[in-house]
């Protein structure tokens, strides 16, 4: 089947307020040349995929040779197809691009250069991607000033730092942004430890102390009103506990259970921290659910995968290097080596999750995963299931 050869992951594309505005779709397609347009058709017919990517525009980079027989996209999905400007030939591709527009697709240019201005194809495109993997910031600022781009939608991709994003947002008319800057930590000067980090340290210490009661643990959480509220709210996402009416943190802990307490408190903590991009919490939950899904598939008895995925975002939320954070947290050694060096079973799972998220397919050990009964098609299904599980959590 087509789906056996198709892997995809999505990356957030945000606006100037750092709210998610679109999904950039990475894809790995190993089908024969004559069937390579089938992966887009799959997006229309596989309801499990449509369910996790609909409601927002989908950016996807394709070859002009892969779109010859694409059907009209369903009204629920808005596709922007990006083509490499260097591969386009006006005499050959004009009719095909015109047909795609008539079918309801929007078109974008990637690998863009000033040489493309004035060519017969330029008016077909409403989007232009300027990648900081290919151009430096000064070049992007220069290209953006060209009057021919005044009426184009500009997407700046592969933004690495928040400083780059601020400069680009201030000095260009770009309105679409993506890159690692969304999860970048900003080092805080001084020796003060953020309040939420102190609460997490206190909780982990109390949980390791067999003498701490549920009342003691709930008192630590109740030091922060917002955190307490989030903990109570998140208990509703545990399906079989929705019939309970929870009035206080102590009762919430009794329902959640000590074993899963750190998981839920960390979720509540991340959702309570101000000054972070709106999408950062959902990114952390997505990774946690993906790590948990991979672990259940290849190491069913392994514990800690969800927490490793979640804690991999600690630097982004606490604005400190991972090494510094781990020195303060009394964590099991298996979690420490996984988070700091990607070692052990948990570390390997975290590495696979990160590479899958970023579309670095060449770094994923597919043969080793297959030996543990996790095929590439099953990995794709794990990813889809993780997006659904995460969506249920962060919409609470």
pLDDT digits (tens, 9 = 90+) for 291-350: 999 999 999 999 999 999 999 999 999 888 999 999 988 889 999 999 999 999 999 999
- Lookup result for tokens 């329902």: 255
Least confident of 25-29, 64-68, 151-155, 189-193: 189-193
Look at residue 298 in the predicted model and tell me its pLDDT.
96
User: pTM for the full model?
Assistant: 0.87
255 pLDDT higher than 90: no
pLDDT (average), residues 184-197 = 64
What is the distance between the alpha carbons of residues 348 and 156, in angstroms, rounded to a whole number? 31
Look at the alpha carbons of 262, 20, 25, 166 in this order and tell me if their dihedral is positive or negative: negative
pLDDT digits (tens, 9 = 90+) for 266-285: 888 888 888 888 889 999 99
Judged on CB neighbours under 10 Å (0-12, 13-18, 19+), 179 is buried
pLDDT at 215 over 60: yes
pLDDT of 31: 43
Tokens representing 115?
């040489």
DSSP letter at 191?
A: S
What does the pLDDT average to over 134-150?
Answer: 90
Task: Give the highest mean pLDDT range of 41-50, 197-206, 250-259, 349-358.
Answer: 349-358
Percent of the chain predicted with pLDDT > 70: 85
* % of residues, the chain, pLDDT over 90: 43
Residue 2 reports pLDDT greater than 60: no
Nearest to 115 by CA among 153, 82, 88: 88
Contact 256, 238 (CB under 8 A): yes
**Mean pLDDT within 353-381:** 93
With 50 as the cut, is the pLDDT of residue 124 above it?
Answer: yes
Helix (H, G, I), strand (E, B) or coil at 88: coil
Residue 261: φ, ψ to 5°: -60, -50
Q: What is the mean pLDDT of the chain?
A: 85
Q: Which of 356, 375, 386, 383 minimizes the C-alpha distance to 298? A: 375
For residues 72 and 58, what is the distance between their CA atoms, to the nearest angstrom? 15
Q: How confident is residue 33, by pLDDT bands cut at 50, 70 and 90?
A: very low
Q: Which residue has the higher pLDDT, 69 or 177?
A: 177
Q: Is the pLDDT of residue 233 over 90?
A: no
Q: How much is the pLDDT for 82?
A: 95
User: Would you call 270 helix, strand, or coil by DSSP?
Assistant: helix
């Amino acid at each position: 089947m087509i789906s056996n050869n198709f892997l995809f992951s999505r990356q957030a594309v945000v606006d100037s307020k750092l709210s998610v505005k679109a999904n950039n779709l990475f894809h790995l397609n190993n089908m024969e040349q004559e069937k390579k347009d089938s992966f887009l058709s799959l997006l229309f017919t596989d309801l499990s995929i449509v369910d996790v990517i609909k409601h927002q525009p989908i950016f996807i980079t394709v070859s002009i040779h892969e779109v010859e027989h694409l059907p009209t996209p369903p009204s629920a999905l808005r596709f922007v197809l990006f083509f490499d400007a260097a591969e386009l030939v006006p005499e050959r591709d004009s009719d095909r691009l015109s047909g795609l527009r008539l079918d309801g697709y929007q078109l974008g240019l990637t690998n863009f250069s000033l040489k493309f201005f004035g060519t017969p194809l330029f008016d077909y495109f409403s989007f232009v991607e300027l990648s900081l993997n290919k151009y430096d910031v000064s070049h992007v600022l220069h290209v953006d000033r060209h009057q021919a781009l005044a009426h184009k939608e500009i997407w700046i991709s592969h933004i690495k730092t928040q400083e780059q994003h601020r400069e680009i947002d201030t000095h260009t008319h770009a309105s679409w942004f993506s890159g690692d800057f969304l999860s970048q930590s900003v080092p805080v000067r001084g020796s003060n430890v953020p309040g939420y980090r102190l609460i997490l340290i206190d909780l982990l210490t109390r949980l390791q102390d067999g003498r701490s009661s549920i009342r003691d643990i709930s008192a630590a959480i109740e030091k922060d009103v917002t955190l307490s509220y989030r903990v109570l709210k998140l208990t509703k996402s545990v399906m079989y506990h929705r019939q309970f009416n929870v009035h206080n943190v102590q009762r919430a802990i009794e329902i959640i259970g000590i074993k899963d307490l750190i998981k839920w408190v960390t979720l509540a903590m991340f959702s309570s921290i101000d000054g972070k991009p709106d999408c950062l919490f959902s990114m952390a939950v997505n990774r946690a659910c993906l790590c948990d899904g991979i672990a259940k598939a290849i190491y069913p008895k392994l514990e800690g995968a969800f927490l490793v995925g979640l804690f991999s975002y600690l630097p982004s939320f606490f604005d400190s290097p991972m090494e510094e954070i781990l020195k303060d947290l009394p964590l099991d050694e298996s979690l420490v080596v996984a988070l700091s060096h990607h070692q052990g079973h948990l570390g390997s799972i975290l590495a696979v999750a990160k590479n899958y998220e970023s579309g670095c397919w060449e770094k994923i050990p597919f043969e080793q995963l297959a030996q543990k009964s996790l095929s590439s098609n099953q990995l794709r299904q794990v990813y889809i299931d993780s997006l659904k599980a995460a969506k249920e959590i962060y919409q609470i």
